[in-house]
Amino acid sequence: MLPWHQYLLGIILLIAGFFHFKSPKIYERIIPPYIPAKSTVVILSGALEMVLGLVLLNPGTQKIAAWAVIVMLVLFLPVHLYMLQNKKASLKWPKWALVLRIPLQFGLMYWAYQYS
């Protein structure tokens, strides 16, 4: 049996991925302009989050999933920086919340690393 916090991370990834499909326009708005095919990126990143959430919950694949989650979160960092720098992309979030999201990403990476 896996630790409860591994299930929690898997569920968080599943839910986060689901919202890419539920509200794709919001995610398209936070993608930096230099990234092409925004709608495709939103769908692919949502699907990837969901798949990794499930794969993280399998003891036989958790190590590769953990590393893939870390890589994915590194690739998401430009989105968080763009949200901090661009008023339209900030989704009217307070500045402190946008700043807090960046170290939160590193915390999530460390969390995933626990299963590698």
Answer for the pair 68, 52: CB distance below 8 angstroms, yes or no. yes
Per the structure, the complete domain to which residue 100 belongs is given by 4-113
pLDDT of amino acid 35: 96
Answer for the pair 113, 66: CB distance below 8 angstroms, yes or no. yes
How many Å from the N-terminal Cα to the C-terminal Cα in the chain? 16
Tens of pLDDT, residue by residue over 32-55, are 999 999 999 999 999 999 999 999
Tens of pLDDT, residue by residue over 7-19, are 999 999 999 999 9
Question: What pTM does this model have?
Answer: 0.94
What's the average model confidence in pLDDT over 67-93?
A: 97
Q: Residue 5, Cβ neighbours under 10 Å: how many? A: 11
Instruction: Give the count of domains, the chain.
Output: 1
